[in-house]
Structure formats: C-alpha cells, structure tokens
Amino acid sequence: MAGTRDRARERPRLIINADDFAFTPGVTAGILDAHAAGTVTSTSMMVGCPGWEDGVRRARATPRLDVGLHFNLLVGRPFTNAASLRGPAGEFLTLAALVRRALLGRVRAREVEAECEAQLAALRDAGVAVSHIDSHRHVHALPGIASAVARVADAHALALRHPLEWSPRRAALAPSRMRGALVGAAWRVASRAAPATRAPDHFVGPLLQGGRGFAARLLNLLDRLPPGVTELMVHPGRVDRVLETVDSYTWQREREREALTEGALVERLRRGDLALADFRDL
C-alpha cells in the first residue's frame, strides 16, 4: 500500500514522442523544430524512406534527442524477401491490404520478425542509437505482427509502444476515440502471446491527431495526466513536396509543429507539475 500511495503522489512524467523522423526532410525538420523548443523529447525513425539520408545525418547531430525505430510495413519496399508483406510489384502492401491479410492469418510472423530485425540493424549500422520500437500506422497491433515485433523488442531489451489509449472523458471527438479504441482492441487480442516488454504506463495517440484544435486538446490533456509515465504520440512536420506525394497527413503536421513550438505549451511545461522524460528513462 505504501508503494501505491507514493505512486499516487508522484509527479507525472511525460514523453512527447514525434513519429515519422526521416519520412521526408520536411517532416524531420519539423520534429527538430519542436525538439529545439524543448517539447519533443523523443522521436521514432523510419528507414528506407525519402528522408533517410537527411534523417541519419540530423539524428547523429542531435544526440540529446532519444530515437526509436518507427517500424514500417507500408511505405516503399521491404528490406528482406518477405513474400507475405509484399504487393505484386514487390512494394509494401497498402494499409487496407495488410489489415486484410493479417486478419486472414496470411502474414508470416517469421517474415515480420526478420524485417523488423533488418530495419533495426539499418538504424544501428547508420550510427543511430535506438531505445524503443513503435510502428507506422500502428501496424504492430495486428495479428501475426504484434508478437513478432515484441520478440524483437524483447531480444534487444528495447521498450515497445503498447497502443492502449488513455484519455479523460470528452477529451476527443468521436472519430478519434473510435480510432484509438480499434487500435487498442487489436493490440489486446494480437499481443496475448507476446513476450512482456517495457512501456510507459499510459499512451495517448489518436485523440491528439487532426490539425484543428490540436493545441487546445494538448493543453487540456496536460492538466489531466495521471501519475506515472505517459507517452504522447505527435506528428509535427514541415510540408514539403515529397510529403505531399506519399502521405495524406500534411497541413495537420504544420499545425502540430506550431503548437509544439509556441510559447503557450513551453510555458505550460515550465509550470513544474510535470517532468519531461524519454524512453531511456524507463
């Protein structure tokens, strides 16, 4: 009971993790803007994407920024000969096709594990230290994928995002709440046989997405954080021409970047009732 009471009095700790580092140069630049402002403490990095070489250079030059693997099964091509993850031309499947294949049991876990290992190795071979794993569009919550990615995280003693969204009542619009609920439900089922992995106590992701009202939602959330460590998943970025050709989440990244670099959030974090952290602190 004493430990429970101590935990209840603990100042909430906050990991603000920006997904999609190295997706495009503009996305990377926006994430670094937020890190320089003192808000984003951690990022998760994609490999083999249009912003890869720029991302490696800038990650090496920013050692205070905690970096994880943003495991990708949707953009570009696999690093491995993973037949169950490929489309007819050798490219990754679309999200809809990957979900359908996973639900039908047609994704081979061994291929997922090998692909995750290969992407992790690419980051480390590039000289980037890695502390955690998450995934692009939460694909690691899918059947046949969850346990495979968890095995990689466990083998390398890395933290892994558990996408079970915490949110106060009325904190998000219905579509955001629905997305979070679907991802969480998929994770609960798909990860049942997965090895135990380290993760923050709480996760907040889909309810923050969407450019309009992002700043207000974020500030409101910070006043309600529970004790323990909470990961906030964000997507700041600068829109460049490359991003416009590969992703539909564009102007929203600019709104998130603005909110994560403006004075209101910076001042809120200086109030002293929250402590910023990263995955290296877990």
Q: Where are the domains of the chain?
A: 14-281
What digits encode the pLDDT tens for the residues 231-271? Answer: 999 999 999 999 999 999 999 999 999 999 999 999 999 99
Q: For residue 41, what are its two tokens?
A: 């403490």
CA separation for the pair 181, 95 (Å, rounded)? 18
CA separation for the pair 127, 133 (Å, rounded)? 17
Q: For residue 46, what are its two tokens?
A: 């994609």
Place of tokens 């995280």: 153
What digits encode the pLDDT tens for the residues 267-277? Answer: 999 999 999 99
Digit-by-digit pLDDT tens for the chain (282 residues) are 334 444 445 789 999 999 999 999 999 999 999 999 999 999 999 999 999 999 999 999 999 999 999 999 999 999 999 999 999 999 999 999 999 999 999 999 999 999 999 999 999 999 999 999 999 999 999 999 999 999 999 999 999 999 999 876 555 555 666 777 888 889 999 999 899 999 999 999 888 888 788 999 899 999 999 999 999 999 999 999 999 999 999 999 999 999 999 999 999 999 999 999 999 999
The model carries a pTM of 0.93
Domain boundaries 14-281, CATH class: alpha beta
Cβ proximity of 253 and 40 under 8 Å: no
Place of tokens 């564009």: 250
CB count in 10 Å sphere of residue 256: 26
Place of tokens 């089922």: 189
